[in-house]
Amino acid sequence: MGRRVGMEVSIAAAEAVKQANVDVISAYPITPQTHIVEHLSELVANGELDAEFFCVESEHSALSVCVGSEATGARSFTCTSAQGLALMSEITYIASALRLPIVMIIANRTLSAPLSIWNDHSDAMSIRDCGWIQFFAENGQEVYDHVFISYRLAEEREVLLPVIINMDGFILSHVIEPFEMIEQEKIDQFLPPYQPLYRLHPDRPITMGAFALPSIFAETKKAQEVAIRSSMPKILEVWKAFGDMTGRYYKPIEAYKAEDADTLLVTMGSFGETASVSVDQMRQEGRSVGLVKIRLWRPFPFEELRQVALKAKNLVVIDRAVSVGMGGPVASEVKAALYGYDSRPSIYNFVAGISGRDVAPSDFIKMVDKAEIEIEEGNKEGYELYGVRE
Amino acid sequence: MTKPEYEWTWKEIPVGNVILEPGNASQYRTGDWKSLKPILNKEVCIHCGLCYIFCPDMAYNLNAEGYFIADLFYCKGCGICAKECPTGAITMVVEEEER
């Protein structure tokens, strides 16, 4: 078993990037991602990590550098938040279409306006369709672990896709947690050096990023869609290998006291830990409530979600972002997953905790109370921004 | 390219849409884009080569008789050659659709 230490999650994430032995780091500091970049910068400056650290002038360049370095076969890392992610969004689509296995951590933060540095998932949702494999971590250990999982997965010949690790800004990024650090020898075994399928090299010239005529563009998109959809078995395989190494097994959908539950809370990210406290409390009161945590956002785990969600009577889906004019994006996906089934549960959607407003265990209980009553009364379109003063 | 791109299936496209054959853009008929084509009046041409130098698509080639002639497979019909020609030897004329 690895060393157990108390550490800030951002520092642990940076340590994981070091242990993953990256060749290139290119990032621009932005709250609340800053500590990751600062620590990596120190590690490189102190000679503890043999990598190129690019101090770029913007996030657009940060990811563009990673695209270039990854194209030459260098293992590359970047991280950002909110406005920074918005600025690099153009390049996110390019990295995935070029099939470059970059890994990025997003310390999730609210997109302006109004200007806010606090946490929600509006940044992640703005690039929902960018074609990267996307994880949402529930705690710091998951962030640390998923750096290794992500590189191993991204660089698999059958996958070759960039990966995003989402972690809630401040709520995760700035707290100190107990971590189980993994020994370097184990990491080296789990994560061998990157062997690119194609790379830019003068000895064998190839072209990356060429244009495509309408007569072939759709074929390229189908190839990309099939690649990310069929990455699911590889994701499960890598998680299994990681679990065998560390004892920490991960799944696309994590169920907590969900068997036989009438009502299921559905959450993504750090909400999961708080919600599990409220589930314990409600169970003690004899209520039939469980919890479903979505860890894998893309490719969306339709089948895994159905296996647990179809047995329930009610789903209370709690989003941490609002698709203005539509509602909660997670609820939208959950509804899509279940629409084809006659005996599907009723769904009530809350958007809660946007811009870092605290959501306590008591709030999850209030949401379950409200949803159960509304569903009982026949409200089929249940959706609201939780806790807003009228 | 073994076959034109409009015959490729999605399974045949290399991962990341990379182009493995260097310089295969030369197979792309940019000449399809033009509506005007350059006509050279050899009586006036002084063989200075400015058309060749200014052509943004490198469509001009020197022929055996010493004239620079636009390869209509690549010429996009921009007219820069006609504009730059010091003796007015190049005229842009409407390219009729071939039937």
| ipTM value for the complex | 0.88
Please indicate whether, in this complex, the C-beta atoms of B9 and A219 are within 8 angstroms of each other.
yes
Q: Report the residue from B6, B8, B16 with minimal CB separation from A98.
A: B16
pTM, two decimal places: 0.93
pLDDT score of B48: 97
Contacts of A216 in chain B (CB under 8 A): 5-6, 8, 13
pLDDT band (50, 70, 90) for residue B27: confident
Candidates A42, A40, A45; CA nearest to A18 is: A40
Superfamily of domain A4-246: Thiamin diphosphate (ThDP)-binding fold, Pyr/PP domains (3.40.50.970)
The CA distance from A156 to A196, in Å, is 9
Nearest by CB: A198 against B6, B10, B18: B18
**Residue A319: which of A332, A336, A304 has the closest Cα?**
A332
- Is the model's pLDDT at B58 over the cut of 70? yes
Say how far apart CA A376 and CA A370 lie, in whole Å. 10
Is residue A277 within 8 Å of A283, Cβ to Cβ? no
How far does A64 lie from chain B, in Å, by closest CA?
A: 16
**Cβ distance of B19 and A222 shorter than 8 Å:** no
**How does pLDDT run across B70-84, given as a tens digit for each residue?**
999 999 999 999 999
CA distance B50 to B68: 9
pLDDT digits (tens, 9 = 90+) for A270-304: 999 999 999 999 999 999 999 999 999 999 999 99
| Mean pLDDT of all residues in B49-59 | 97
Residue of chain A nearest B13, judged by CA positions: A220
pLDDT at B99: 45
Query: Which value, in Å, is the radius of gyration of the alpha carbons in chain A?
Result: 21
Q: Which residues contact A247 (CB under 8 A, 6 or more apart)?
A: A1
Tens digit of each residue's pLDDT (9 = 90 or more) over A169-212:
999 999 999 999 999 999 999 999 999 999 999 999 999 999 89
A34 and A42 Cβ atoms separated by less than 8 Å: no
The answer to whether the Cβ–Cβ distance between B19 and A160 falls below 8 Å is no
The CATH number of the structural domain formed by A253-385 is 3.40.50.920
Nearest to B8 among A198, A206, A216 (CB): A216
Torsion over CA: A27, A184, A100, A8 (sign): negative
- Residues written for chain A: 390
Helix, strand, coil fractions of chain A, as percent rounded to 5: 40, 20, 40
Size of interface A-B (CB pairs under 8 A): 56
Taking the domains of chain A in order of start, what are their residue ranges?
4-246, 253-385
End-to-end Cα, chain A, rounded Å: 52
Q: What is the spatial distance between Cα A315 and Cα A137, in angstroms, rounded to a whole number?
A: 21
CA A368 to chain B, closest CA, distance in angstroms equals 45
- For residue A304, the SS3 value is helix
pLDDT at B1 over 60: no
Delimit the domains of chain B by residue range: 34-99
Low-confidence ranges of chain A (pLDDT < 70): 1
Find which of B5, B6, B7, B10 to mutate to test the A interface (most A CBs within 10 Å of its CB): B10
Task: Identify the pLDDT of residue A380.
Answer: 79
Which residues of B lie inside 8 Å of A (Cβ-Cβ)? 5-6, 8-11, 13-20, 22, 25
Q: Is the pLDDT of residue B24 over 90?
A: no
Alpha-helical regions (H) of A270-328: 271-284, 302-309
Q: Is the pLDDT of residue B98 over 60?
A: no
For chain B, the average pLDDT equals 92
Instruction: Decide: B61 and B69 in contact? Cβ < 8 Å.
Output: yes
The pLDDT score that the predictor gives to residue B42 is 96
Q: Is A99 on the interface with B (CB under 8 A)?
A: yes
> B13 vs A216: CB contact, 8 Å cut-off?
yes
pLDDT more than 70, % of chain B: 95
Do A212 and B17 make contact, defined as CB atoms within 8 angstroms?
yes
What is the spatial distance between Cα A41 and Cα A300, in angstroms, rounded to a whole number?
A: 34
Is-same-fold flag (A4-246; A253-385)?
yes
Asked if pLDDT for residue B56 goes beyond 60, the answer is yes
Q: What is the DSSP string of A12-39?
A: HHHHHHHHTT-SEEEE---TTTHHHHHH
> What local confidence, expressed as pLDDT, does residue B2 receive?
66
CATH topology of domain B34-99: Alpha-Beta Plaits (3.30.70)
Tell whether A213 is within 8 A of chain B (Cβ): yes
Parallel, antiparallel, or unpaired for β B60-62 and A346-351?
A: unpaired
- DSSP, collapsed to helix, strand or coil, labels residue A349 as strand
